[in-house]
């Protein structure tokens, strides 16, 4: 069965802070309801904690780091789920239940199956 990454772009908050408790309740509910299709995932600390790494001049070059996310956007990449669904329509239905979809957006991308 195909897998999809459901990548969450939403408000850039720290899910461990007390302010996020309501939101985390929504995520817990989603996690329980979608238990049958969730194969993995992670929640991320806010973009303020991000470090972007580049190697100048290609492989073996100098490592250059910068503070912050790769792209500054209104909504931040806050986490993702790996879900297993029969087809895109099913995956879209699941993605619509992720709380991040309600005030942000979920990017649904098919996962490459190298096993074939």
**Could you say which of 19, 62, 72, 89 contacts other proteins (CB under 8 A)?**
89
Q: Which is nearer to other proteins, 63 or 112 (CB)?
A: 112
Task: By CB under 8 A, tell whether 110 contacts other proteins.
Answer: yes
For 12-16, which contacts have Cβ atoms below 8 Å and span 24 or more sequence positions?
12/46, 12/47, 12/48, 12/75, 12/76, 12/78, 13/46, 13/78, 14/45, 14/46, 15/43, 15/45, 15/78, 15/79, 16/45
Task: By CB under 8 A, tell whether 87 contacts other proteins.
Answer: yes
Footprint on residues 7-66 left by other proteins (CB under 8 A): none
**Could you say which of 86, 96, 102, 103 contacts other proteins (CB under 8 A)?**
86
Task: By CB under 8 A, tell whether 105 contacts other proteins.
Answer: no
């Amino acid at each position: 069965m195909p897998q999809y990454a459901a990548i969450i772009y939403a408000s850039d908050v720290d899910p461990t802070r007390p302010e996020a408790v309501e939101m985390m309740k929504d995520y817990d509910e989603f996690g329980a309801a979608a238990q049958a299709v969730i194969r993995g995932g992670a929640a991320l600390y806010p973009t303020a904690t991000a470090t972007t790494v580049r190697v100048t001049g290609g492989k073996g070059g100098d490592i250059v780091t910068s503070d912050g996310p790769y792209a500054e956007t209104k909504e931040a990449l806050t986490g993702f789920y790996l879900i297993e669904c029969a087809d895109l329509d099913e995956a879209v239905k699941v993605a619509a239940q992720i709380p991040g979809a309600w005030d942000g957006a979920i990017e649904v991308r098919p996962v490459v199956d190298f096993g074939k």
